[in-house]
Amino acid sequence: MMVPVQERLRVDIERWVAKNGQDRSSLIPVLQEVQKKYGRISEYAMQVIGDQLGIHPVEVHGVVSFYSFLKESHKGRFDVRLCRTISCDMAGRDRVARQLENELGIGFGETTPDGRFSLEWANCLGMCDQGPALLVNEHVFTRVTPEKVHDILAQFKKMMDVNVFQQVEEH
Ligand code: FES
């Protein structure tokens, strides 16, 4: 018996929510999974994700439109985006922003000379109660402090070193 696509989508979303945790910070990872498997994020998917994570559909829409813009604008290998919307602003995003600039040696809107990191602003990522929120490609970090910035970036630098050999082989 064929399972209707919506049913399959719902089951998949439930699985991804279970894997990532039934929490707002799962919004982007789950959207990424849907995009990867289904090639798009339908209205129905947004509805189910919103229901599962307790996020208003309007908010899910906002994040999806921001996310589609993200996909087209990947510049550095790691796209670092700090939310600049009001809740994160009040939660201390300026100090985090300065620390990101110091650590990466670039300003917002720029890419490191080695092409590894680009630094950009983001609009609300739907994690307003856990700000400041930071997105590095599909990885979401919440309650980011200047002290945490170094460790977060170090994870990605390490990831890159591990992948270097693989990349050389691919090219
Ligand atoms: S204001 Fe930053 S995640 Fe919503």
Cis bond before residue 132 (omega within 30° of 0)? yes
Beta-bridged to residue 80, according to DSSP, are: 119, 136
70 Cα: distance to centroid of ligand 1 (angstroms): 16
* Average pLDDT over every residue of 85-99: 96
- Where is 41: in which H helix or E strand? none
- How high is the pLDDT of residue 98? 97
pLDDT at 170 over 70: no
pLDDT at 137 over 50: yes
Evaluate whether the domain defined by 78-170 bears CATH number 3.30.465.10.
no
- How high is the pLDDT of residue 72? 52
Residue 34 Cβ contacting ligand 1 at under 6 Å: no
> For residue range 73-83, what is the model confidence (pLDDT) as tens digits?
555 688 899 99
32 near 70, Cβ under 8 Å? Answer: no
27-38 helix and 57-72 helix, angle to the nearest 10 degrees: 60
**Whole-number average pLDDT of the chain:** 85
Largest Cα separation within the chain, whole Å, is: 57
Residue 91 Cβ contacting ligand 1 at under 6 Å: no
- How high is the pLDDT of residue 17? 96
pLDDT at 157 over 90: no
13 against 4, higher pLDDT: 13
What is the gyration radius of the CA atoms in the chain, in angstroms? 17
66 Cα: distance to centroid of ligand 1 (angstroms): 12
Q: Are strands 117-122 and 110-111 parallel, antiparallel or unpaired?
A: antiparallel
Residue 125 Cβ contacting ligand 1 at under 6 Å: yes
pTM attached to this predicted model: 0.62
Mutation probe of ligand 1 site: the residue of 56, 63, 127, 140 with most atoms within 8 A of C-beta: 127
> For residue range 15-72, what is the model confidence (pLDDT) as tens digits?
999 999 998 889 988 998 888 888 778 889 999 999 999 999 888 988 888 776 655 5
Residue 133 Cβ contacting ligand 1 at under 6 Å: yes
pLDDT at 132 over 50: yes
Closest listed residue to residue 84, CA positions, set 152, 134, 129: 134
Q: Reading across the β-sheet that carries 117-122, which strands appear in turn?
A: 110-111, 117-122, 78-83, 134-136, 139-141
Q: Where are the domains of the chain?
A: 5-66, 78-170
